[in-house]
Amino acid sequence: MLKNCLMQSYWNFSPTGKRKMASGLIPQPWNRRFNCTMRQQERSSIMINHGPRILLALILLVLTMPAIAAELDWDQLSAEEQRILKPFGDRWETLSDERRQKLQKGAQRWQNMTPEQRQQAKQRIQTWKKLSPEEQASIRQKYQAFKKLPPAQQERIRKLRERFQLMPPERRKALRERWKNLSAEERAQVKRRLIQRQRRRE
């Protein structure tokens, strides 16, 4: 290509001093033709060097699109999952895919629970239903804040919760009443002391 460009840009000087091509036509400036050819070669080089990468990226995009766009249909659930999620069956198509995924994970966790754990889960659900919308919103905010904590701190809080669950019912009730009567500053101090105590035990 470069050779052809150079041959086409061959200059013929006439006796009058005017520059003409062998064909007799006045050509474009040589440097303009040369730059044009160089740009074409650069584009060809880019496609040769990076073409496989671009093609691979496009293939991966096409292959992942069905997975991204695919929704969890009711028929894709196992028979046991459908039984557990039966209350949502009639409106399953109206739920977002994110909601469907969460419900499926919840059903899978339920299958792996012991009878005692299932009973506790039912009690928590009943307690949740009795809460006011404001109380539910407050709990959701606290849960979002919990998820933003470092993993180590989340683990400490989980262990503290496990210790609390192992206490006798009377002891748990007394602690709840005491907690309700504390101010925000006092609650923060209690949390810090509990975390420090948990760290020393570790």
pLDDT confidence tier of residue 2, bands split at 50, 70 and 90: very low
Tens digit of pLDDT for each residue in 155-197? 888 888 888 888 888 888 888 888 888 888 887 887 777 777 7
Number of domains into which the chain is organized: 3
Residues 125 and 148 in one domain: no
More confident residue, 23 or 111: 111
Q: Is the pTM of this model over 0.85?
A: no
Where among 80, 109, 130 does a domain terminate? Answer: 130
Q: What is the pLDDT of residue 108?
A: 92
Pick from 88, 74, 78: nearest CA to 111: 78
DSSP letters, 159-177, are HHHHHHHHS-HHHHHHHHH
Where among 54, 69, 84 does a domain terminate? Answer: 69
Cα dist from 2 to 24, 26, 44, 54, whole Å: 22, 20, 13, 27
Where among 89, 111, 130 does a domain terminate? Answer: 130
Residue 91, domain extent: 72-130
Tens digit of pLDDT for each residue in 120-144? 888 888 888 898 999 889 888 988 8
Q: State the chain's mean pLDDT as an integer.
A: 73
- Which residues, 6+ apart, have CB-to-CB distance to 20 below 8 Å? 11, 12, 13, 14, 26, 27
Q: Which helix (H) or strand (E) holds 1?
A: none
Q: What is the pLDDT of residue 26?
A: 47
Residues 86 and 41 in one domain: no
Q: Which helix (H) or strand (E) holds 151?
A: helix 151-166
Q: Is 72 helix (H, G, I), strand (E, B) or coil?
A: coil
Residues 82 and 101 in one domain: yes
Q: What is the pLDDT of residue 69?
A: 41
Q: Return the minimum-mean-pLDDT range out of 40-49, 75-84, 127-136.
A: 40-49
Residues 36 and 11 in one domain: yes
Q: What is the pLDDT of residue 105?
A: 92
Residues 81 and 63 in one domain: no
**CB neighbours of residue 106 within 10 Å:** 14
Pick from 53, 13, 5: nearest CA to 31: 5
Q: What is the pLDDT of residue 52?
A: 52
Q: Is 183 helix (H, G, I), strand (E, B) or coil?
A: coil
